[in-house]
Amino acid sequence: MPEVPLAYGIPDQEHARNTIVTSPAGLDTDPGPYGSPHSAPDRAEHPTPEQIAGRAAVKFSHLMAMIKDQAFDYTHPVDEYAPQGMSSTMALYPNIINVQPDYDMPERIEALTVIIPVGATLAVLQLGQRSMTLYSGPVITTPIVTSVQCRGIILNSDDLRTLTITGALTTAPYLGLCGWALTRGQFSLCGSQRNGGETYDTSTSARQS
């Protein structure tokens, strides 16, 4: 019986099972058990030390940028108060005092101090859209000092900071706010949902008396 030549020039199947042919591109090609070639994993695609270091540097820079965005900036302290320059010997004390902002940017108020004067029967504090009744009752005979520690009261530069007192006052009222002005990144974390993600100028303005 005449010998039938094998396809692809491979003398026998046993030899085909054990043959690996290297392609010109450097990729290993396994002809398979029956002479049908398929690509084997490329053993030349391991990253070099320089490539590993470059990828690590890029990931590290991204991580540092995230940390910087989440860090709080304490370079713009807020110390707002009213009245300013009022004498204790005045014959008439104001029933409404307004505090002017220190900056033309949003502020995060962390503490507030209120002094309700002698003679008051009602004291209402307004911070932005927040209205809080601090006292309602008979005429007080000694000043009431209220100090509140808080977190995250966000006030824009045009929000009200007002203390309204009802009664014939014989001592001076007082309203003081302390906290920090917010930069663009900080405001996006603390209050962007409330204000629609707007951006603000970070230039400072002088205190208005």
- CB 85, CB 172: distance < 8 Å: no
Shared domain for 100 and 36, answered yes or no, is no
Pair type for strands 144-155 and 120-127: unpaired
Domain boundary among 70, 93, 119: 70
Q: Residue 86: pLDDT above 90?
A: no
Shared domain for 177 and 100, answered yes or no, is yes
Number of domains in the chain: 2
Whether 191 maps to a domain, the answer reads yes
Shared domain for 87 and 135, answered yes or no, is yes
Whether 204 maps to a domain, the answer reads no
**13-28 burial string, b = 16+ CB within 10 Å, else e?**
eeebeeeeeeeeeeee
Shared domain for 115 and 52, answered yes or no, is no
Tens digit of each residue's pLDDT (9 = 90 or more) over 119-167: 999 999 999 999 999 999 999 999 999 998 887 799 999 999 999 999 9
Query: Residue 127 is part of which domain span?
Result: 77-195
Shared domain for 182 and 107, answered yes or no, is yes
Shared domain for 183 and 114, answered yes or no, is yes
Tens digit of each residue's pLDDT (9 = 90 or more) over 96-114: 999 999 999 999 999 999 9
